[in-house]
A and B are shown apart, each in its own frame.
Chain A
Amino acid sequence: MLPFAYERAESADGAVRLASGVAADAPASADAHVRFIAGGTNVTDYMRLGVMRPERLVDVNPLTERLGAIRLDEAGLHLGALVRMAEAEDHEGIARDYPVIADTLRLAATRQIRNMASLGGNVLQRTRCDYFRKTSFPCNKREPGSGCAALEGVNRRHALLGTSERCIAAYAGDFAQALIALDAEVTVTGPSGERRLPFADLHREPGERPEVETVLGPADLIVGFRIPAGPWTRRSRYVKVRDRESYQFAVTAAAVALDLDGESVRDVRIALGGVATVPWRARAAEDLLKGRRLDEAAAREAAEAAFEGAVPRGQNGFKVPLGKETVVRALLETMAMKV
């Protein structure tokens, strides 16, 4: 591992100051010169692999008291960026009122990792594409312009949606699917102060520049998330299909939140995990279901719509039918929930 300067932040502004001044205009890409570190489960791993080579590491853990709160009220749910995954997973109010959030956390990684990993860091976790992880391969995300080894390579776990000719790496996270489904907002503090943006605007599809994964600058720090209350949050669920029963990234996944009027759909939100390059909202599928009676046939139609435009590449074609089945199952299981 290359040497780095280790700094401990004593305040959010202090963290931003410590991160500023090191290539302040550069996008937050794989080789960013400065990185915030909280749980370290992703950053430490990628530094050891030589994929991330920060010159400066700003430890934000001392801010846990300020940015580590879970607040639940009539307006919604507020999650501080330094809430650990396990804390939110064990929170009774979240399990009751926002079960899809609890599901995405409980079904991710292992308890050790969830004890460490912060929610702010979780949404920024890097892809698990093996070519991104191994520095001996070309990868446009890690080394812009070097090419994409996954296009013609071992791409069974790669994305079908939101891909480009430069990158087909799948977004690995689960929690982000709950956030995008529930119209969450993210609060960011940076060199020009604090701002709030829709969570759906945080990540960028790879397009021509796969190395730029979010709209954040290198000195921008996520401080929290706000999830608005709504009649759909209690009837919500995450179905995650994996290669093994536990401790594995999603092959396909679907987050669903439903507001029902009897058997007909007043409102629905659907997000897809494991199949897209960024957290993915399936709006066409939602539109198809609104105002309709939800049964298996309707769920199948929605699943078809969710995967319209999917681009399989060799080995990952099986994810199209599997992803559709996942959506159908998630919709029907969510409908059957007792709330």
Chain B
Amino acid sequence: MSEPHARPPAHASFNRRGFLGAAAAGAGVGVVGTAVAATAEAPTPAKSADPRAPRVVSFTVNGQRREIAVDPRASLLDTLRDRLGLTGTKKGCDHGQCGACTVLVDGRRVLSCLTFAVMAEGAEITTVEGLAAADGDLHPMQQAFIDHDAFQCGYCTPGQILSAIACVEEGHAGTDGEIREYMSGNLCRCAAYPNIVAAVRQGRDKMGEA
């Protein structure tokens, strides 16, 4: 069975997503709160003659073990967002071209839109929700993006931050040129690039101090 959620259910606090979900349900569209749907999901048998039958996959997300039955066609991105309620990971292009869906899988930055969830069996996944400390202290890279105003609309930001953390850990954030090259998989349509480079630089230095 699924573990309880790390973050409070959407209805516990008033936010944009909770409001939109409630509004949609009120309009008769029948959207169920994603957090509720995920916990209520019961895994079904792994083997079946019908290829559309859900398959059980288990992995760890932000330190929490998850077991969930998924359609084999479901991307890891959709599974994180729609089934596990972790909507911090964003869907941009859904074709591996924009980087908004970047998450860490076993410590490596990958594109969750190009990953079938069934292929993440046994993986350790980190999303933007898993970066801050339990006491709410932000990851140095999150703080750096705030300090340098490294976004405008913010949609690409979770992917940028995860990509930046991995970029530093890979040792590919040595110079501004290297940061630009190794961050080229994360597009920012607001073109906050100079601020993003400055943020990665600060995040790199602070991560080194930690």
Contact = CB atoms under 8 A, between A and B. Distances in A.
B120 to A, nearest CB: 10
A121 to B, nearest CB: 12
B111 A6 contact: no
A1 B108 contact: no
A297 interface: no
A6 B118 contact: yes
Name the prevailing secondary structure of the B interface residues. mixed
Contact of A116 (B51, B115, B180): B115
Given A1-B73, A3-B52, A246-B180, A113 B167 contact: no
Nearest to A90: B170
**Residue among B72, B118, B172 with the highest chain A CB neighbour number at 10 A:** B72
A135 interface: no
A92 B99 CA distance: 27
B101 to A, nearest CB: 9
A109 B185 CA distance: 8
Interface string A1-19: 1011110100000000000
B94 interface: yes
Interface in A234-292: 246-247
26 contacts: A3-B52, A3-B72, A4-B73, A5-B51, A6-B51, A6-B72, A8-B121, A37-B116, A37-B119, A40-B114, A44-B96, A45-B96, A45-B114, A48-B94, A57-B72, A59-B118, A111-B167, A111-B182, A111-B185, A112-B109, A112-B111, A113-B111, A116-B110, A116-B114, A246-B180, A246-B181
A187 interface: no
Interface residues of B, number: 32
Interface string A39-64: 11100110011000001010101000
B115 A44 contact: yes
A113 B72 CA distance: 21
A288 to B, nearest CB: 35
B74 to A, nearest CB: 10
Nearest to A107: B181
B124 to A, nearest CB: 14
B119 A112 contact: no
B79 interface: no
Contact of A112 (B55, B94, B180, B185): B185
B114 A246 contact: no
Given A111-B167, A116-B111, A40 B116 contact: yes
Contacts of A109: 185
Given A110-B185, A112-B111, A6 B55 contact: yes
B181 A4 contact: no
Contact of A41 (B51, B111, B167, B184): B111
A112 B110 contact: yes
Given A55-B51, A112-B163, 7 more contacts: A4-B51, A4-B73, A5-B51, A6-B72, A109-B185, A112-B111, A112-B185
Interface in B79-131: 94-96, 99, 102, 108-111, 113-116, 118-119, 121
Interface of B: 51-52, 55, 72-73, 75, 94-96, 99, 102, 108-111, 113-116, 118-119, 121, 163, 166-167, 170, 172, 180-182, 184-185
Interface string A55-76: 1010101000000000000000
Given A44-B115, A61-B119, A113 B96 contact: yes
A115 interface: yes
Nearest to B104: A115
Contacts of A111: 109, 163, 166-167, 170, 172, 182, 185
Given A3-B72, A41-B111, A45-B96, A113 B185 contact: yes
Contacts of B75: 44
| 10 closest residue pairs by CB, A with B | A110-B185, A246-B184, A5-B51, A6-B72, A247-B184, A3-B52, A115-B108, A44-B114, A3-B51, A112-B185
